[in-house]
Amino acid sequence: MADNKGVHDFHVNTKEAAQGFYVKGAAHLDWGMQRRLGHMFQPKSGNTVMLAFDHGYIMGPTTWLERIDLVIPPLMPYVDVLMGTPSIFRADIPPEERPGLCLRITYDSTVLNDDLSCGGGIACDIESAIRMDADCMAVQCFIGAPGESRSLELLARTANVGLKYGIPTLGVTAVGKDMVHDEKYFLLATRVLAENGANIVKSYYCDGFERVVSACPVPIVIAGGKKLPELDALEMAYRAINDGAHGVDMGRNIFQSDCPAGMAQAIGKVVHDGYTAAQAYEVYEEVRNR
């Protein structure tokens, strides 16, 4: 049927607004992958605050996560992504649209066994991840340890099935007790994870981190590690962002703080708003003293 409203303007001479995509390494990914990455990384900063509370899957409950139902839900307004195991989400976390959802889908050897030769296995299949509306699937890799090849196989298989269904994969660098946490190691480990399919890599901060970030074709987020004094944890986050990290995937330095909500908000200021550690510490103090 003829359209009698006049000539449509398809703006053929106007450049498209979005020529790429703001998440590093994701410009050529499928629409669904970009959409899910967009649930995780804020467009204004290109960065993300992920809250990790998956520690119990190898450590049990005594990391101050005895009652996840009480500790984690109050922090949901202040973070971009929650990272945990599917069973804990089902048991303890309300299924709200925000924040984004990163499922740890592998199992590993527990701290009682501490066996880096295991390399892990799949604990949550793709159907479960889709049913839970996951934005991301996390796989831990043991680069330089006996479980390396098994864990890389799990990463590559997850990344392939993730590409098929539009769910990004987070590759997590596991650092064994006796492994050196230095630039040389993280340069290799982060690049290996990215080249084996990870769309995001979780690493640790180290000297020379700007080179680690530069050589990794996808965004790096840093873990916090063991609890530090709040100002030190903010300083580490600040340095990581300043050196090019695209966010944090932090656990103990948030939920073990004496004011987890203050710490989550302070970290958010560093990650998204360019605050220095000292400025962000004021945010933490202000929330704590309310």
101 binding ligand 5RP? (CB under 6 A): no
Contact 222, 252 (CB under 8 A): no
Considering only residues 53 through 82, tell me which ones interact with ligand 5RP, judged by CB under 6 A.
54
Q: Choose the stretch contacting ligand 5RP; rule: CB under 6 A; options: 7-15, 27-35, 87-95, 251-259.
A: 251-259
Size of the site for ligand 5RP (CB under 6 A): 13
Closest by Cα among 65, 78, 81 to 256: 65
Whether 226 sits among the annotated catalytic residues: the reply is no
Closest by Cα among 169, 173, 174, 172 to 156: 169
Residue 107 in 3-state DSSP? Answer: strand
Interface residue with ligand 5RP among 86, 100, 119, 224 (CB under 6 A) is 224
Q: Choose the stretch contacting ligand 5RP; rule: CB under 6 A; options: 85-93, 206-214, 217-225, 278-286.
A: 217-225
Q: CB-wise, 174 or 283, nearer to ligand 5RP?
A: 174
Concatenate the DSSP letters of all residues of 9-28 into one string: ---TTSPPS-SS-SSTT-TT
Alpha-carbon span 223 to 132, nearest angstrom: 24
Q: CB-wise, 166 or 228, nearer to ligand 5RP?
A: 228
Interface residue with ligand 5RP among 46, 56, 166, 225 (CB under 6 A) is 225
Structure tokens at 103: 């499922």
Interface residue with ligand 5RP among 33, 250, 264, 280 (CB under 6 A) is 250
Q: Give the nearest distance from C-beta 257 to ligand 5RP in angstroms.
A: 11
Considering only residues 103 through 142, tell me which ones interact with ligand 5RP, judged by CB under 6 A.
140
Alpha-carbon span 277 to 266, nearest angstrom: 8
Contact 108, 120 (CB under 8 A): yes
Q: Give the nearest distance from C-beta 167 to ligand 5RP in angstroms.
A: 18
In the set 15, 24, 177, 202, the catalytic residue is 202
Q: CB-wise, 21 or 204, nearer to ligand 5RP?
A: 204
Q: Choose the stretch contacting ligand 5RP; rule: CB under 6 A; options: 17-25, 127-135, 250-258, 271-279.
A: 250-258
Interface residue with ligand 5RP among 99, 144, 251, 262 (CB under 6 A) is 251
Q: Choose the stretch contacting ligand 5RP; rule: CB under 6 A; options: 117-125, 147-155, 190-198, 223-231.
A: 223-231
Phi-psi region of 225 (alpha: psi -120 to 50; beta: other; left: phi over 0): left
Q: What is the β-pairing status of strands 121-122 and 106-107? A: antiparallel
Q: Give the nearest distance from C-beta 278 to ligand 5RP in angstroms.
A: 21
Task: Write the CB contacts of 79 (distance below 8 Å, at least 6 apart in sequence).
Answer: 49, 50, 51, 99, 264, 268
Q: Give the nearest distance from C-beta 108 to ligand 5RP in angstroms.
A: 8
**Cβ density class 235-247: b for 16+ within 10 Å, e for less:** bbbbbbbebbbbb
Amino acid at 194: A
Residue numbers at the binding site for ligand 5RP (CB under 6 A): 52, 54, 140, 172, 174, 202, 223-225, 250-253
Residues belonging to the active site: 202
